Amino acid sequence: MTDIELRATNLHWLEEGDPHDDCCVHGGVYLRLGDRIISDGQSEWTVSTAAFRLLETIAREHKEDIDNALIPCCGFNMWPVESVPDGLLIPNCNNGIDWVIQHPDSNVVAHVFPNGQTIHTDIRAWSNAVCGFADPIHDFFQTAWPKNFYDDESRVGFELFMSLWKKRRSEVEHLI
């Protein structure tokens, strides 16, 4: 199977304002699957949303959808919306890196890119890489905790985000 290198670079809060007001961790994403570099770690992304979405790919398939990119440029908000999966909507602009994630069997993750290239990874290796990426980002949240919210909907959305993150992370604990 293909080897994986996934790490966050330059974790930070938005430069202006109070980090307790920022519910997104920002930084770079370095992702390499075998010889293919998906992201070089130099561009600015919302790494907390990337970690959240990548955690989901361990157990679920992902259809390519730039509005829900696996590595999104931004995540404008976290809104509780009953009609979307998991009841959480994280809207973002259409800038990001996205590809299809499939699970052809219980031990394999297929990464299908827009150019048609498919790279297979072992589910345990993918789980280890994603959790190794997500855990430091989760820890970074603690550097500006508790969070301040400008309204109740934002608080509920962020609490759901963190609750789903914890649930997704615990669901894959047996794989790492």
Segment 102-108 shows an average pLDDT of: 95
Coil/strand/helix, residue 88: strand
**Residue 113: which pLDDT band, with cuts at 50, 70 and 90?**
very high
Segment 69-89 shows an average pLDDT of: 90
Mean pLDDT of the chain: 94
What local confidence, expressed as pLDDT, does residue 2 receive? 84
Segment 118-139 shows an average pLDDT of: 97
Write out pLDDT tens, residues 15-25: 788 999 999 99
Least confident span in 12-16, 134-138, 152-156, 172-176: 172-176
**Residue 94: which pLDDT band, with cuts at 50, 70 and 90?**
confident
**Domain around 104:** 4-175
Token digits of residue 55: 């955690």
Q: pLDDT exceeding 90 applies to what percent of the chain? A: 84
Write out pLDDT tens, residues 41-63: 999 999 999 999 999 999 999 99
What local confidence, expressed as pLDDT, does residue 175 receive? 82
Query: Could you tell me where the beta strands, DSSP code E, fall in the chain?
Result: 4-12, 26-33, 36-40, 45-46, 71-72, 79-80, 88-89, 96-97, 100-105, 108-112, 118-122
Asked if residue 112 has pLDDT above 80, the reply is yes
Asked if residue 65 has pLDDT above 90, the reply is no
In angstroms, the Cα distances linking 35 to 26, 125, 128 are 26, 16, 19
What local confidence, expressed as pLDDT, does residue 92 receive? 85
Structure pTM? 0.95
What local confidence, expressed as pLDDT, does residue 126 receive? 97
Number of domains in the chain: 1
